[in-house]
Amino acid sequence: MSFVILVPLLPLLAALMVLVGDEGTRRQRAKMAVYPIGGAFLGAIATLWWVATQGPITLRFYDPASPATLAFPIGFYIDRLSAVMMVLISGVGTIIYTYSIGYMYQDPHDRRYLALIGFTTSVLLCMVSSANLMMLFLFWQVLSYMLYLLAHNHAHAATLDGAFRTFTLLRVGDVAFLSGTVLAYQLYGTFEFQALFAKAAETPVMLSPWPSFEISGPTAVTLLLFIGGMSKSAQFPLHFWLPRSLYAPTPVHALLHAGIINAGGFLINRLAPLYGLSSTTLHVAFVVGTLTAILGATMMLAQNDIKKTLGFSTIGQMGYMIMECGLGAFSLAVFHLIAHGLFKATVFLNCGNVIHKARQDPESPHADPREEEKEFSSLTWSTGFATTLLIPLLILLVTHGVLRIPLLESQGTVIFLFFIWITSSQAILTLTRLRAIASWKVSSAMLLTLLFVVFVYLFAVESFTAFLYPNPAEVASYFQAAALPNWLFDSMVVMATILTVVSWGYLYMRAHGHGRTMWIPGWVEGLRVRLYVVFMNRLYMDELYQALGRAVMRVVHRIDKRNARWSE
């Protein structure tokens, strides 16, 4: 099965085809380079079929028992997780490269740009198929450098500043990742994934960084690696590099938001057996992911720029993905990763067309007066309320009472049902208009949305989980490791229910044209305005970053002056 090496090498070949040659054949070479990248996509599909039917593929160009592994740790381990990621990356990479040929046609540096797209796709494919932790770190590090180069227009001051901030902040995550890698080797003596998992499970290790404080070896390693994942996947408070990188060409963001930023979710799934040994790290991931999801979605609503809106939407979705990992639903996180990657790549590619049209037509987008809704539809509102609250409650009672599924004894089952409910409620609340002339059509759309979400999540629960993690005991162990205290878990479900009820009530009371109003105290309205300004300014994280940088530079200058006096 050595042909799998061609999958990451073909995009590299495409990059070389673009770079090598004279200026006269540049366009022809750029178009021909589509075929190697497309070939990588076909090879990834073939690899996925082989792995699904024959088992994982292992290729090593080193001896795991030799110290030389540290110098040349290049090898490939492709299981179902790696194969799925390879199909996603190569497929999205093919579309983005093909789109970029026309999009960057008049750019004077399009040759460099297209070569970077091919090289980045190759790096991503090598990273997700890495045979050991050291190789994973090396390509993780290269990917950080690629994000700086992909900013492309370094002659533009804002672009250069954003690229530098991205590079600087990702160094924090890379240092933590390297520290976790070194600590893992020191504790367990290997970089090989399977051997690392086995030794971590067989030999419990306790560390004492300072007196009267102990931490388990798996917790220390996974926390450090998680910080690396936080930086790459833009988790709060390491998220503010992403909005600053939005000056890059739009296809770059399609690749970034569809592939690169998913690295944190892939990392946790790649090391799932190690993360399953640390409930502490999973709880930290849950808290960080939840906070990121809430803040990212809130900041998204306060932006007035289309790319920033999409960028903060991605931050919120990445928080959602990390939160799923923190709950032990690793397969659900991968499913979310794939769905978001395909969706966001499409949206960002279309975003370029929208921006171009808005520049040509200052009155775009146009408001169609025919779309103005004249009356409030009680039928539509009642359908939405029942669809998001009463029907899921009925399903829950039937599942627990009639089918005898022990929901109260299994947080894992409740988690999947909870995500089904909260996702369908969010979709219906945000995508459905309460006032419509043909209200029965909107009501039907609500019911179809619920059925579609239920079907998709049931597929994720049954088929996709069984595909990625065929051992049910392994899946159960992850949920057990991530289990929250019952009072906290129940409080979360109750709070989400209350928020959904309040949301529907708010929409009903604030709807125009039906004679109802909603009284809001003055201090609440003032607080809402202040919070809007704070979220519109992205929590002032950029200003805090600059103040921290100035403080560090003052300390450095003082140390330099003191050393200069001592040397005299």
- Taken as a whole, the chain contains a residue count of 568
Q: At what angle do helices 80-103 and 6-19 cross, to 10 degrees?
A: 20
Query: Looking at the domain assignment, is residue 60 inside a domain?
Result: yes
Contact 288, 129 (CB under 8 A): no
Residues 217, 322: one domain? Answer: yes
Reading the block at residue 337, the tokens are 């990763």
Q: Which tokens in the block code for residue 164?
A: 């530098």
CA distance 70 to 270: 20
Per the structure, how many domains does the chain have? 3
- Judge if 151 and 217 occupy the same domain: yes
- The H or E element that residue 234 is part of is none
**Average confidence (pLDDT) per 10 residues, the chain, 568 residues:** 82 87 78 89 91 87 70 83 90 88 77 87 90 89 85 77 81 88 88 88 79 82 90 84 77 78 88 89 90 87 81 86 87 86 82 73 58 57 70 63 50 72 74 57 75 77 83 84 79 78 68 54 77 82 79 83 68
Asked if residue 7 belongs to a domain, the reply is: yes
Residue 97 lies in a domain: yes
Return the ∠ at Cα 341 (arms to 337 and 346), rounded to 5°.
Answer: 160
- What is the helix (H) or strand (E) element at residue 89, kind and residue range? helix 80-103
Backbone angles phi, psi at 60, to 5 degrees: -125, 135
Q: In b/e form, how buried is each residue of 95-112, taking b as 16+ CB within 10 angstroms?
A: bbbbbbbebbeeeeebbe
Say if residues 88 and 259 touch (Cβ distance below 8 Å). Answer: yes
pLDDT in the model for residue 200:
87
User: What does DSSP say about strands 57-60 and 75-78: parallel, antiparallel, or unpaired?
Assistant: antiparallel
Q: Are residues 330 and 446 in the same domain?
A: no
Residue ranges of alpha helices (H) inside 302-410 are 306-326, 330-360, 378-385, 391-397
In a domain, 546, yes or no: no
Q: Are residues 276 and 222 in the same domain?
A: yes
Q: Which token pair is 410?
A: 């299994």
Cβ–Cβ < 8 Å for 309, 242: no
Residues spanned by the domain of 71: 1-131
> Which of 87, 103, 131 is at the close of a domain?
131
Question: Which residue shows structure tokens 């049209």?
Answer: 357
Residues 9 and 95 in one domain: yes
Q: What is the DSSP string of 289-313?
A: HHHHHHHHHHHHHT--SHHHHHHHH
- Contact indicator for 305, 358 with CB cutoff of 8 Å: no
Within-domain flag for 551: no
Read off the tokens for 453: 């979400």
- Same domain? For 120 and 224 the reply is no
DSSP notation for 166-194: HHHHHHHHHHHHHHHHHHHHHHHS--BHH
For 198, 244, 375, 471, the CA distances from 317, given in Å and listed in that order, are: 32, 18, 34, 28
Cα–Cα–Cα angle for 373, 378, 382, rounded to 5 degrees: 125
Q: What's the per-residue H, E or C state across 477-499?
A: HHHHHCCCCHHHHHHHHHHHHHH
How far is C-alpha 463 from the chain's CA centre? 22
Instruction: Provide the token pair at 564.
Output: 């200069």
For residues 460 and 473, the answer to whether their CB atoms sit within 8 Å is no
pLDDT for res 408 = 45
pLDDT at 483: 81
**In 3D, which of 332, 331, 334, 318 has the Cα closest to residue 285?**
318
481-524: per-residue pLDDT in tens?
A: 888 887 787 787 778 778 777 776 766 666 544 445 556 677 77
Looking at the fold, whether 102 and 248 belong to one and the same domain comes out as no
* Burial state string for 215-239 with b = 16 or more CB within 10 A and e = fewer than 16: ebbbbbbbbbbbbbbbbbbbbbebb
Indicate if 15 and 150 belong to the same structural domain. no
Tell me, yes or no, whether 137 lies in a domain.
no
Report pLDDT for 518: 58
Other Cβ atoms less than 10 A from the Cβ of 48: the count is 18
The Cα 556–Cα 553 span in angstroms is: 5
What local confidence, expressed as pLDDT, does residue 69 receive?
A: 63
pLDDT one-digit tens code per residue, 252-288: 878 887 778 888 888 999 998 999 888 889 999 998 9
Same domain, 107 and 25: yes
User: Does one domain contain both 339 and 389?
Assistant: no
Residues 251 and 166 grouped into a single domain? yes
Residues 103 and 163 occupy one common structural domain: no
Distance CA 103, CA 105 (A): 6
With CA atoms as reference, report the closest residue to 395 among 420, 373, 370.
420
State both tokens at 401.
């009472």
Of the candidates 131, 160, 189, which is a domain's last residue? 131
Rounded to whole angstroms, how far apart are CA atoms 302 and 309?
A: 8
**Alpha helix locations (H) across 20-58?**
26-32, 34-54
Query: Does 565 reside within a domain?
Result: no
| Rounded Cα–Cα distance for residues 366 and 353 (Å) | 15
Whether 540 is covered by a domain: the verdict is no
